[in-house]
A and B are shown apart, each in its own frame.
Chain A
């Protein structure tokens, strides 16, 4: 079955540490990829998206993600996290008309 996998369920980091959250998808054809973030008590919002072109995508708040087609991966990175990055992060793919989401990764950044 087509799916999106996020292998890290809960990540705990100290401020200024580097972040990498894994995301793998199982679709073989063309696919658009997204990272969404949900801060405590807030709506889901888009961090970044990949449709085509440069596989290194930059998003808001210093986040970036790299699309590696050969690995079916779209990992999210940030060189130095802040306490305000504490949130739940969702990877999503749209090979079809709707988004398929991963199960999410809860990031906790300790001050």
Chain B
């Protein structure tokens, strides 16, 4: 089937605005992850969802960041009152189970630019 999809592919916003980034995982994958890739840096873990368990939000950089996963499938990452340092590529990944035992499949990412 289709891979992980993300929308929009690019988002330009003004400082202080809210943005929503969407991720559609591979059908049947129970685990969903959000990462951030800033220029010249590796991927930084943000949050993950596993089935119906409470999400692990330990990687979220501030309370301006939040995410939800509806119906165990689609996820939305919301950034409120965006700042210039939020500019990055936001990647979503999914796996059949926890990454400890399963491969993560990555989406193409959303490139966020905060002016």
Contacts and interface: CB of A to CB of B under 8 A. Distances in A.
Interface residues of A, number: 22
Given A32-B100, A44-B91, A99 B56 contact: no
B42 to A, nearest CB: 4
Nearest to A30: B100
A94 B106 contact: no
A43 B3 contact: yes
Interface of B: 3-4, 33, 35, 40-45, 48, 50, 56, 59, 91, 93, 98-101, 103-104, 106-109
B41 to A, nearest CB: 6
Contact of A99 (B40, B41, B45, B50): B45
Interface in A19-37: 32, 36
B108 A43 contact: yes
B106 A98 contact: no
B45 A100 contact: yes
A97 B103 contact: no
Given A98-B56, A99-B43, A43 B106 contact: yes
Q: Is the interface of B mostly helix, strand, loop or mixed?
A: loop
A97 B48 contact: yes
Contacts of A51: 101
Interface of A: 4, 6, 32, 36, 43-46, 49, 51, 90, 92, 94, 96-104
A46 to B, nearest CB: 5
A43 B3 CA distance: 10
Contacts of A98: 33, 45, 48, 56, 59, 99
Given A43-B3, A44-B91, A44-B106, A103 B101 contact: no
